[in-house]
Amino acid sequence: MTTAISPGLSDLATLDEGSMWAVGFALTELTPEVDTRIAALVKKAVG
């Protein structure tokens, strides 16, 4: 079975890199490294 989650992003989030915005990510495996990267992105988004 495959499970997918789709968290929403706000225009107030600070994930932009100039004129580009990340609007989605695909994970093939949730490793400790990926988990750390996700946590860093969420922390950056909430400022």
> What does DSSP assign to residue 45?
H
Q: What integer is the mean pLDDT of 16-42?
A: 80
Residue 33, pLDDT score: 93
Query: How far is Cα 24 from Cα 10, in angstroms, rounded to an integer?
Result: 13
Predicted local confidence at residue 1, as pLDDT: 53
Q: Which residue has the higher pLDDT, 29 or 9?
A: 29
pLDDT higher than threshold 70 for residue 2: no
User: What is the predicted pLDDT for the residue at 16?
Assistant: 62
pLDDT at position 39 over 60: yes
Mean pLDDT of the 14-20 span: 65
- Which residue reads 């600070």 in tokens? 14
**pTM of structure:** 0.49
Q: How far is CA 41 from CA 2, 13, 23, 25, 46, in A?
A: 24, 10, 12, 11, 9
CA–CA separation, 1 vs 19, rounded Å?
Answer: 37
